[in-house]
Amino acid sequence: MRIFCEIDVYKLDNEEFKPGEEVFGLIRYAINEKIVFHKITVSLKGHGRLRIITKDRKNNREYTNREDFRLPENIPPSFVHCGNKGGYLIKCKIFYYIRIKFSRCGVLSVPKRFKKEIIVGGAFTPTLTRSPIIYGKQKKIVKLFSGNNTINIKADIENSVIKVGEIVTFGYEILNNKHVKLKGVKVKLMEVYSFKAKGLHSVKKFSNIEGFLSRTAAITGGGNQKLDFAIILPFDKKTIQYSKIVSRNYFLRIKVLFPIFRQNLTLDIPIEVGNEIGAEYMSLPPPPSYWEVMGECEKSKLFGDDDKFITDEEI
């Protein structure tokens, strides 16, 4: 017996489904002989897998964690990551698919399955404030014959919840109440991943966002420096929530550079970036017309029974 199956999905313009949206499509199948199926099930599912492998030659260990979910609003986006962090090799993938399963009666009957992967975009629930907020930090410097001197840094941001492509506006002021010349100030946008596998502590991976680095002039003793910034965030940088295995966050880092042998003073301003749940996707598109079904739907290769959900090559 052979089953021929085709799954067509009506994608949005950006070929990406949003959390909470309906997935429209059409499934066609044919059987080359007369047979009775006990049940035919169509489902929409998601899987996540994280592998963190230590790179110690004497004692290689692997930590694995899975999560399975349906497609409600509070789910993570489709995601693939592969890279190194310290002594770890990290492979992570979150993916979604439509599956049709043909089940026959009998204990020895093996169901026949067909799958089609879909891309799900991300959305998040804000946890930071939309109102202007001020952050501050202070460092005391002890110096012989001059008492205690302090370096003060104050930063403000208008809105900590940023939509994709929007401008983030912030500024800082530094007061150098000491008789030492500061080398300058670095301002950069940073991204941090947190990978969480069972049996292992959270592994964090920090990186700078290219094109968002500023270096200012030196600050003399007793002087001050005040600057304002307005930057447009990249469209592909979005906060990831709702996953037990991975999260992605962003923050603005202001670093005051001290002379050699002194530890720098760093202040981080957290921000959340992306599309909020329910903010843009409350209205659903209408079902496709007959002509769209017959002539414009997109076909794609299906996964057979012998295909695995995830392999090392895929992630």
CATH tag for 3-122+283-295 (out of 3.40.109, 2.60.40, 1.10.10, 3.90.550): 2.60.40
Residue 63 has pLDDT above 80, yes or no: no
pTM score, two decimals?
Answer: 0.78
CA angle 40/104/27 to nearest 5° reads 25
Listed ranges 8-12, 64-68, 253-257; the one with the highest mean pLDDT: 253-257
Fold agreement (3-122+283-295, 133-273): yes
Q: Which of the two residues, 281 and 168, has the higher pLDDT score?
A: 168
CATH tag for 133-273 (out of 2.60.40.640, 3.30.200.20, 3.40.50.300, 1.20.1250.20): 2.60.40.640
What are the residue boundaries of the structural domains of the chain, listed by start?
3-122+283-295, 133-273
The average pLDDT across 44-50 equals 89
CB neighbour list of residue 123: distance below 8 Å, 6 or more residues apart = 18, 19, 20, 73, 77, 274, 275, 276, 277, 278, 279, 281
**pLDDT at site 247:** 96
Residue 160 has pLDDT above 60, yes or no: yes
**pLDDT at site 302:** 44
Q: Bridge partners of 44?
A: 98
**pLDDT at site 61:** 57
